[in-house]
Amino acid sequence: MFIGYKAVYRVCFAMSVWFLISSIMMINIKNTQEPRAAIHNGFWFLKFAVLVGLTVAAFHIPDQPFTYLWFIVGSAGAFFFILIQLVLLVDFAHSWNESWVEKMETGNARVWYIALLSTTVFNYILSFTAIVLFFFFYTKPDGCLMNKFFISINMILCVVASVVSVQQKVQECQPRSGLLQSSIITLYSMFLTWSAMSNEPDRVCNPSLLSIYQQIAAPTLPSLQWWDAETIIGLAIFVVCILYSRYVLAPESPHAAKSTAARLVIINTVFFTHTHTFPYI
């Protein structure tokens, strides 16, 4: 019987095969009027049945070498997923910076300059605070060398990226590049560093978030259970990137744009209890 991560591997394998088959079937579809497009937009019972069948079949795959091979595939997929997520964040930061710089040039320059500067400084303060906390909680004077190395190297790379972003040559090629983009990527790099350290098996170099809170707020309380906080934050970033890529980056027809606007109003109603106009609609 497969339990834990082995069961997760098999469910993920079935879903990967299902989406791979679906993507191959959708190659070279130009519009929704083509016959194959109906498969994408309908036949949900049949597609769900195929997914269930693939999942059941995946649980009949022998443990070895499947578990090891799928671990390699998953690691490679996670690497490329982080790169894609990084590209989306860079694009988001660039669009954000471009929008505020344009408003600064055409509107109240002082207000938008202060907003741009404050956001950038705030991101760097959060990143610097994260570095200090990493060294305090995730390293020891006589150990945790791996954590010390990655915290230091990522900090250095972020400083280099920030300096490069304001160089004259870079400004000539990308006039709207600046420290806002670098500050967002720096903050995201700190999250990735924390996420990596939170998966270290040695609890001396990897205290849980609740254990850290206990050390600060209530050291006399009994030990608290492990809380996978980095996974929750990672999931939130993932959802934001998916929504951004879907509603901002994806090209749409006028009909689709109206549909998207309606969906965004519904999302706003559900999560924020009121609606407002989105700048990109």
Among 61, 89, 107, give the residue marking a domain's end.
Answer: 61
pTM here is 0.67
Respond yes or no on whether the N-terminal peptide bond of residue 141 is cis (omega within 30° of 0).
no
Residues 178, 117, single domain; the answer is yes
For the chain, how many structural domains are there in total? 2
**75 in a structural domain:** no
The pLDDT of residue 257 is 45
**152 in a structural domain:** yes
**47 in a structural domain:** yes
Rounded Cα gap, residues 53 and 139, in angstroms = 47
**205 in a structural domain:** yes
- The length of the chain, given as a count of residues: 281
**Local confidence pLDDT in tens for the 281 residues of the chain:** 556 778 888 888 899 999 998 888 888 887 777 878 888 888 888 889 999 999 998 888 888 888 888 889 888 888 888 888 888 888 888 888 888 888 888 877 788 888 889 999 999 999 999 999 999 888 888 888 898 999 999 999 999 999 998 888 887 887 777 888 899 999 989 988 988 888 777 777 877 665 665 556 555 555 444 556 666 776 777 677 667 666 655 554 444 444 444 444 433 433 333 333 333 33
Residues 48, 174, single domain; the answer is no
Residues 133, 241, single domain; the answer is yes
Helix (H) or strand (E) holding 20: helix 5-25
Residues 148, 43, single domain; the answer is no
Residues 115, 179, single domain; the answer is yes
Residues 3, 93, single domain; the answer is no
Which residues touch 51 (CB under 8 Å, ≥6 apart)? 14, 15, 18
64: exposed, middle or buried (Cβ count in 10 Å: 0-12, 13-18, 19+): exposed
**276 in a structural domain:** no
Residues 52, 88, single domain; the answer is no
Residues 204, 119, single domain; the answer is yes
Rounded Cα gap, residues 185 and 164, in angstroms = 13
CA angle at 122 for the pair 121 and 128, rounded to the nearest 5°: 85
**52 in a structural domain:** yes
Rounded Cα gap, residues 188 and 182, in angstroms = 10
Among 17, 33, 61, give the residue marking a domain's end.
Answer: 61
Q: Six-digit token pair at 56? A: 């059941």
Residues 93, 38, single domain; the answer is no
Residues 149, 247, single domain; the answer is yes
Among 33, 61, 89, give the residue marking a domain's end.
Answer: 61
Residues 110, 215, single domain; the answer is yes
Residues 94, 217, single domain; the answer is yes
Reported as half-sphere exposure (CB side, CA atoms, 13 A), residue 253 has a value of 5
**187 in a structural domain:** yes
CA nearest 120: which of 189, 184, 166?
Answer: 184
Structural domain of 150? 81-267
**161 in a structural domain:** yes
C-alpha gyration radius of the chain: 23
